[in-house]
Amino acid sequence: MKIPFGAMTITQTAKDLIAEALDSERLSSGKLVRRLEERFAELTGVKEAVAVSSGTDADALALAVLHDFGANRGDEVIVPALSFVATGNAVLQAGFEPVFVDIERHTLNIDPTRIESAITDRTVAIMPVHLMGKPAEMDAINAVACKHKLYVIEDAAEAHGATYKGRTIGTLGDMAAYSLYVAHIITAIEGGIVTTDREDFAEILRSLRSHGRACKCKQCVINTADQTCHKRFQHGVDIRFIFERVGYSCKMNELEAAIGLGSMEVYEQIVAQRHRNLMTMIGRVAEFAPLLTTFRQEEHETIGPHALPLLVAADAPFTRDELAAHLEQANIDSRNLFSSMPTQCVGFAYQGHELGEFPEAEYCGTHGLHVGVHQALTDEQIDYLIDTLRAFIAGRT
C-alpha cells in the first residue's frame, strides 16, 4: 500500500474553465481571478479578498500594506519561531525584520505569554501562524496587539476550515494570508490570497501585486470585461504607468483561478472528509503516548484539517529521522515538522541567535514530523498507517 502526503481534487468545472480561458486567449489575471476572489471572500466571511501567486506573496503583501500607514523599512514583525520558513522570508521580503518568539509545544503555535517582552518601539505587527491548521490563541494575541497599537496579520496558510470561538480563522486580525498551494484544501496549484474587511487595505494590495501601479480597481474592466477604461487617461498620463509605491509582480493567472474555483466547488465535502480523517487519526495515535504524541482539538475550536503532526518523545528509543525513514520504506510519505527559523535555518543565522534560545520550537524541529489527512485517504490506509507505527514502536521497545 502507498500513502501519499496529499491529494488534489480537479473538478470538471475546473477543466471546463481552463478550456474556456484557453479559448479566450485571456490567460493573465482576469475575470476568473476576480470570480475566485469573490467566492473566497464569501467562504471566509470577509469583505475583500485579493489573489496573488503564492501564500508567501500573500504574507509579504499583507505586511507591505503597512508601509502606507506609517511603517518604516527595518521595523519589526513578531512571528513564531516554528513555522515553514516562508513566514520569516516574507517578513524580510516586505522590508521588515522578523522578531522570533518561542511556541507552545502542545499547540505548535506562538506562546502568547512571551509576545509582550519581544515588543520594542520598532514593532509594527504580530503575525501569528495557525500551524497545521490549529488556531493560535487569538484573544490573547489581539489583547497584546490592542494594548501596544499593533497590527495583527494571520498566517492562515494551513488553516482552511479552522474556527476559533465560533469565528472563522482569517477574520480575527486586520488581514489574513492564505496559501492555495497544491497540498492545501483549497488549491490553485501555486496561488495565495489575502483577506480583509478594509477596502483601503484591499486597494493597496491590488496595487502591490502589480508593481505598485496606480491601477487598483476592484474589477479591472480591461482585464475582466474587455472594455475601455475611462480612468486610464483621466490625468493625461496612462494610469497603468503611474507607480505609487514599491511593488511586486505576483498576480494569479486565469488557469490557476480555474483550478481554485473548481476546488471551492467541493470545499465543504473536502473539509468534512479531511476533518473526519484528522480526528480519527488523533484518536488512534493516542495508543502510542507518551512515545509518540500529537495535538488535540479543544472545545472552543475546529482545527483546519491540513495534516497530522507527530512528536517523538525525548526519551523514546528511536529518533524522528528513524521513524520517517521507516515510514518511507513502508511507502508512507511524511514531512518534517518544520524548524526553528532563527536557530535551525541557516538563512537567519545573521541575527546571531544560538541553539537553546527557542527550546520548544527547536524540539519540534528535531522531534516532529507530519503525515497527510487528505480527502483521498481511505480507512484501510489509516489502518495501514497505525499498524505500521505500532510495528515500528514495538520493534524498538
What residues act catalytically?
184
Helix, strand, or coil (residue 293): strand
* Residue of 365, 300, 303, 368 lying closest to 334 (CA atoms): 368
Beta carbons within 10 angstroms of residue 70's beta carbon: 8
Please give the DSSP secondary-structure letter assigned to residue 251. Answer: P
| Grid cell locating 67 | 508601509
Q: Enumerate residues 6+ apart whose C-beta is below 8 A from 166.
A: none
AA identity, residue 36: L
374 phi and psi angles, rounded to 5 deg: -60, 165
| Grid cell locating 375 | 480527502
CA distance 21 to 216: 23
Q: What is the DSSP string of 173-188?
A: SSEEEEEEETTSSS--
CA distance 326 to 292: 15
CA distance 153 to 132: 17
| Grid cell locating 242 | 503611474
CA distance 183 to 188: 10
